[in-house]
Copies of this chain bind each other. A is one copy, B any other.
Amino acid sequence: MHRMRFFSDNAAPVHPAVMAAMADANTLDTAYDGDGLSKRLDGRFSELFETEVRALWVPSGTAANCLALAALCPPYGGVVCHRDAHIQNDECGAPEFYTHGAKLMLGNGDGAKLTPTTIRSVIDAIANDVHRVQPHAVSITNATEYGRVYTPDEVAVIGDLARERKLGFHMDGARFANAVAFLGCSPADVTWRAGVEALSFGFVKTGGMNAEALIFFKRELADATLMRRKRAGLLLSKGRYLAAQLIAMLDDDLWLQTGRAANAGAQVLAAAAGDRLLHPVEANEVFLRVTAAEAAALRAKGFDFYDWAEGEARLVTSWDQQPAAIAPLAEAIAAL
């Protein structure tokens, strides 16, 4: 019995096409990001996004997020994010480290989604004087920490607010593949066309090994970020193996195929879960209402997952989990 791990999409293996691309890159080339593969990134991502972008590889999503925040917010500023955001809860203060002490300003919203209303309620409460940290940016996660997806329209109204209030706008797309797979839109629609200036474009959860892309739609932010990337020890000396991963993922829209596969698995679980569902299932995460006894019963059958909170379980499906691998869990849930 295998493929019974629903703990995290980070536990999944690397896609064979990515492994193959890394093997292909295993030749002599220039160090850092001077290699032929790294130099292709701007072009490849510009094609995907239908506009000129700057694209940098980084080895982790936290690095992508926090380099973006450092580009958008000064040390004495604040970043509005949802109170359940990954940057607030799961990065051990990396935003504060990279921004040199900017403050995260926590907003509300169902399913870890901010709205213009919840953002305004945060920033309008801040007197505009030197005693209060002033907001300089907004960061949203798409798909969110609860597997919810912002539509292009939902992003665009936040983008409008950001522009109006002169706030930078970042999207944490650790599960951007799952979001776009759900939306069926152009990647451009849910990002720069909706006002996003910087995107952490995740590839690791969707089949990569250790390469994420940091995309700047506001291209002038990239140059300083190159310095910050180096300064953070993130400019790996054999960067070509990271670039190779990203390019393999872009070829034939592999990132989107794998995103769809993971989403499909989650839908199977969602159908089985019925009214146990705590959130609509839009991406590859399923949050269930389960008693401790029920959780134990599922684990006894070999399924591993995360205890989100008391009475709540988080199940994450991965790109490599075939229907046959999902079915037993779906059945077990239905049988609870």
Contact = CB atoms under 8 A, between A and B. Distances in A.
Copies in the complex: 4
Contacts of A238: 10, 14, 204, 209-210
A130 B97 contact: no
Interface residues of A, number: 72
**Interface SS of chain A:** loop
B93 A130 contact: no
A178 interface: no
Contacts of A98: 233
Interface in A73-90: 74-76, 78, 89-90
Interface in A5-21: 5, 7-8, 10-14, 19
Interface in A57-71: 58-66
A235 B61 CA distance: 10
Nearest to A18: B26
A124 to B, nearest CB: 12
Interface in A104-142: 130-134
Interface stretch (A28-36, A158-166, A184-192): A28-36
Interface of A: 2-3, 5, 7-8, 10-14, 19, 22-23, 26-32, 58-66, 74-76, 78, 89-94, 96-103, 130-134, 204-205, 209-210, 224, 226-238, 241-242
